[in-house]
Chains A and B, each alone.
Chain A
Amino acid sequence: MSNVFIAFQTTEDSRPIVESILADNPGAKATESPGMVKIDAEGSLTVKRTSIEERIGRAFDLQELQVHLITISGHLDEDDDEFTLAWPN
């Protein structure tokens, strides 16, 4: 199974997003480089709106991710509640 990944700029806004992803995706691994953090996971990875909202204490629109996002790998499926990256094979 191939890895998917998602990378964010290291900012105060992206910290709770990264925490949520690591909590919701056991096996996902974060690697920090200067200015950025990249999260790799085998097969698929899901970002959940409610997990982020629990951490930041306000409503969060998943499309806000785009302000902090650097790159992704995998097929994307996004709706109001979840942002999922996956390789189907």
Chain B
Amino acid sequence: MDMKATKKLGLKDRYRNQTRGLHWDTTYQPMDEVFPYDKYEGIKIHDWEKWEDPFRLTMDAYWKYQAEKERKLYAVLDAFNQSNGHLNVTDARYINAIKLFFAAIPLHEYMAHRGFAIAGRQFRGVGPRVACQMQSIDEIRHMQTQMHTASNYNKYYNGMHAVHHQLPRMWYASVPKSFFDDAITAGPFEWMIAIGFSFEYVLTNLLFVPFMSGAAYNGDLGSMTFGFSAQSDEARHMTLGLECIKFMLEQDPDNLPIVQRWIDKWTWRGTRVLSLVAMMMDYMLPKRVMSWKEAWEIYFEQNGGALFKDLERYGIKLPKCALQGIEEKEHISHQLWAGIYQWNFGTSVHSWVPSDDELDWLSAKYPNTFDKYYRPRWEFWREQEKTGTQFINTGLAENCQVCQFPMLFTEPGDPTTLCHRETHYKEERYHFCSDHCKEIFENEPEKYIQAWLPMNQLPQGTCGGGTLEGWMEWVHLVPGQDNGNFEGSQDQANFQKWKGQVTGNN
């Protein structure tokens, strides 16, 4: 890459000219009429000039480097296609991890694109407007590159044909959907905390860094490349989230309690969404880079811990939910995979009981919990499979009104009891998976009573008439093809057949 440019101004001057020189205050209409949304959340801003984007990226540099990233990425995707790259993955079980990724992430990248376009219009300060504009364009690029990567798998494997249709209908896809719906219907500053700070700064490392390194380890060149290409934008997004926090806290001391409540709320909401990634890392990658627990310790406890220590000078405290997150790092991946397994007639991914060497790996990585609570269950379920009495849970778990997960997580301090909270509001009862989701509801009940919960709708007959067959048709799930066990699936048979064609001549 040769990108020598003749510099007329230094980086700081160029950035200053772009983000200050191009702005004017309106005179025909008052600024409050032109920007009606950046005050109602209660955040007080006295001087928008104090906003500083540390990356100081100008538009010409932005387009130049983004174009370079795209050229590199699409060269890899072409090569992946031309060489039947899908047959180079370690094991066809791996493809279920990226099916889940494609069901949960690209459409939310699109929501992030929309959200930053909206926030970019709503802020009256030109610094955040420019940064939001760039991030909005980044996010649509992520959606597009992920869909292009997915299409190379969708040609050959089941379960990816209806991700958009399934988003509000499929019980696990509604979890990340509710996260982004919640964020995009908030005001612009809360949006910045939800996505820019909690998701991008505190949590996105857990999605894109160890998981994408896992994609590389499992021979998935396509996913590794879009993953790292997306993550190269995330460094800028994290900086934007952190800058926004500092800006709000430095502008007025009255902002502190509002910001603290948003941090508490969105750290928990993000932690719940990432349970899906925990499960992918511990159970769905045939070759594992690190356990969820190890990733959590590096990227949440150490990195997030450094951040919260730094924010102490403004009076920000570590969110209360962090302690529960730390306890749950030893549990959530096991509990969620058990959920997918027992309801696998209703998933567009295949599932399986871990093999002996995988059980041994889990025992070694989770010495405090796996042998005591989870290994015996997997061994019991494996025995049941052998005798033709596989455990299928035809009961429906309640959904949490806030995070929308089925109630499958356990009590803090007692991993043998399911956790269930409830509250009354306007003569209705609402159910929650945790104290933190309950607290989020109680702070904004009018928002969350509107949540549309797929499982609660099912008995009402609004999801295909109230029968399992009707539900499958309604959700565009093809029974015996998209769902059920990996063992004996069409995906497994096809992968073996095609792999044989690659290594032989018949």
Contact = CB atoms under 8 A, between A and B. Distances in A.
B303 A70 contact: no
A76 to B, nearest CB: 4
A78 B236 CA distance: 12
Contact of B209 (A2, A13, A36, A67): A36
B305 interface: yes
Interface string B280-304: 0000000001100000000000110
Contacts of B289: 33-34
Nearest to B7: A80
Contacts of B216: 34-36
B232 A66 contact: yes
A13 to B, nearest CB: 7
Contacts of B239: 72, 76
Per DSSP, chain B at the interface is helix
A25 interface: no
Contacts of B238: 71-72
A34 B217 contact: yes
A61 B5 CA distance: 8
B1 A79 contact: no
A66 B11 contact: no
B377 interface: no
A7 B228 CA distance: 10
A74 B213 CA distance: 22
Contacts of B290: 33
A50 to B, nearest CB: 15
B232 A69 contact: yes
Interface residues of B, number: 48
A79 B213 contact: no
B426 interface: no
A78 B231 contact: no
B232 A70 contact: yes
Contacts of A48: none
Interface stretch (B54-62, B356-364, B405-413): B54-62
A2 B309 contact: yes
Contacts of A3: 302-303, 306
Contacts of B68: 67
Q: Which of A70, A80, A88 has the most CB of B within 10 A?
A: A70
Contact of B213 (A36, A59, A63, A67): A36
Interface in A28-81: 33-36, 38, 58-59, 61, 63-64, 66-80
Contact of A70 (B215, B228, B302, B309): B228
B11 A34 contact: no
Contact of B3 (A64, A74, A88): A64
Given A78-B11, A89-B310, A66 B236 contact: yes
B125 interface: no
B160 interface: no
B8 to A, nearest CB: 12
B213 A69 contact: no
Given A3-B302, A59-B4, A71 B235 contact: yes
A88 B310 CA distance: 7
Contacts of A69: 231-232, 235
A72 B243 CA distance: 14
B231 A34 contact: no
B75 to A, nearest CB: 12
Given A75-B54, A75-B242, 7 more contacts: A2-B302, A2-B306, A33-B210, A35-B212, A61-B61, A70-B235, A76-B239
6 smallest beta-carbon distances between A and B, as pairs: A2-B306, A35-B216, A76-B54, A34-B216, A34-B217, A33-B213
